[in-house]
Structure 1
Amino acid sequence: MYHIYTHAIGSEDLFRNDHNYQFFLTKYKKYIPLIGKTYAYCLLPSHLHILIQFHSEDMIRKNVAKQSKLLSQKEKVEEIIYRQIGNLFNSYTQSYNKYFHRRGSLFIEGFKRKSIDNMNYFLNVLKYIHQNPVNHNFVLDSINWRYSSVKEYLLEKEIITSQKWMNERLENLDKASLYTTNSSVIIKFDN
């Protein structure tokens, strides 16, 4: 499980309008479910955050093989994951460049990632991701930011996020605990 984040090159924005955000999420749904389950995301004008758990190697190979004839059994699973994420960023960049009549890279080279090794850290990252628009002064309350997974949790809709795994491990889940910093959750440590 990883917290993945990246940002635009220099002072560029990754997203300039609603269409950009929606188009990125459409591309996201094409590439990322093949390699993992998303637990949280937040897209901001200059950067983005994703909380993802990668599938097993066998599942990734099977899923990606359906989409791409170029998959080699010798290819390491890490290379497949990097390629899928790279395909997402490259596909988005190509469309963005065409739309805004620009050329060149949009994302910094190499996205950043931090391994999530326990449920408390998972919850802290989840809250951090959802609080990001507030921390950057885009909104006063994270539920007002349209380009994050907060509303999926509040409405219990899995559009991009996978909530089942988390709901099975959290007792008495107060949905507000997923996007506010001053609430608590009881955690099962069975896995």
Structure 2
Amino acid sequence: MKLEKLEKDHYYHIYNRGINGGPIFKSNENKSYFLKLINKYLSNKVSILAYCLMDNHYHMAIQVIEEEKMVTQSFSNLFNAYAKAFNKMHNRTGSLFEKHFRRIKIGDTNYLRNLIIYINTNPESHGTTKDFKTYQYSSYQTTISIQNSTDSVPIAKEEVINLFDDLGNFEYLHNQKTSLGLDKLNWD
């Protein structure tokens, strides 16, 4: 399978899951560490519009802001560092993720908006929480908050809100996800 190149100034849906559908996060500590690694390896290389960490998979909507080779290497470093730490912590060996991380190039603003909604509402769609707005490991709370938390992944909030015209529309469309048919999409 030929992997999509990560071209500068383009948007992508980045996602993957655990090998054989198994867990890649067994605790909140694992999720927090993964977010720290995102900050370490992806800062100044991609602009993050949305993310969500679930027990057996993750999603990100990003814009590439550096050259492809540097960004691809940064993602590789992130996933390798996390897998090594996870394996050590949980006394396991071998691959943690299914093959290479998946990436879909996004060429349309409507698709990008729907993807952001899909990512932020993913925990509710999977039954992990009754209300996606309260889920700690997605970008929704950071996007609607006035300022970035010091321990969260920096979100391109202004750009995200502008995609939805304003914060009120961002929140409204997230609440309407079922009427948009986003609960039936299968990007996982």
Shorter chain as denominator, the TM-score bin is: 0.7 to 0.9
Note the alpha carbon deviations across 1:91-145, whole angstroms, 9 max, x for none: 0011111111111110111111111212211110001101111111111110121
Q: Give the equivalent residue in structure 2 for 1:64.
A: none
Identity %: 30
Q: Give the equivalent residue in structure 1 for 2:51.
A: 41
Q: 1:138 aligns with which of 115, 123, 128?
A: 128
Note the alpha carbon deviations across 1:43-90, whole angstroms, 9 max, x for none: 0000000000010xxxx3xxxxxxxxxxxxxxxx33322211010000
Alpha carbons 2:23, 2:55 under 8 Å: kept: yes
Q: In 1, Cα distance between the equivalents of 2:164 and 2:115?
A: 15
Q: Give the equivalent residue in structure 1 for 2:84.
A: 94
Alpha carbons 1:177, 1:183 under 8 Å: kept: no
Unaligned runs of 5+ in 1: 61-76, 185-191
The letter of the residue matching 1:112 is R
The letter of the residue matching 1:102 is R
The letter of the residue matching 1:99 is M
Alpha carbons 1:3, 1:115 under 8 Å: kept: yes
- Establish whether residue 5 from structure 1 lines up as the match of residue 15 from structure 2: yes
Q: 2:108 aligns with which of 118, 123, 134?
A: 118
Alpha carbons 1:133, 1:142 under 8 Å: kept: yes
* Greater C-alpha radius of gyration: 1
Q: Give the equivalent residue in structure 1 for 2:171.
A: 176
Alpha carbons 2:41, 2:74 under 8 Å: kept: yes
With the length of structure 1 as denominator, give the TM-score of the two structures: 0.79
Unaligned runs of 5+ in 2: 1-10, 181-188
Backbone CA RMSD of aligned residues: 1.9
Alpha carbons 1:38, 1:52 under 8 Å: kept: yes
With the length of structure 2 as denominator, give the TM-score of the two structures: 0.80
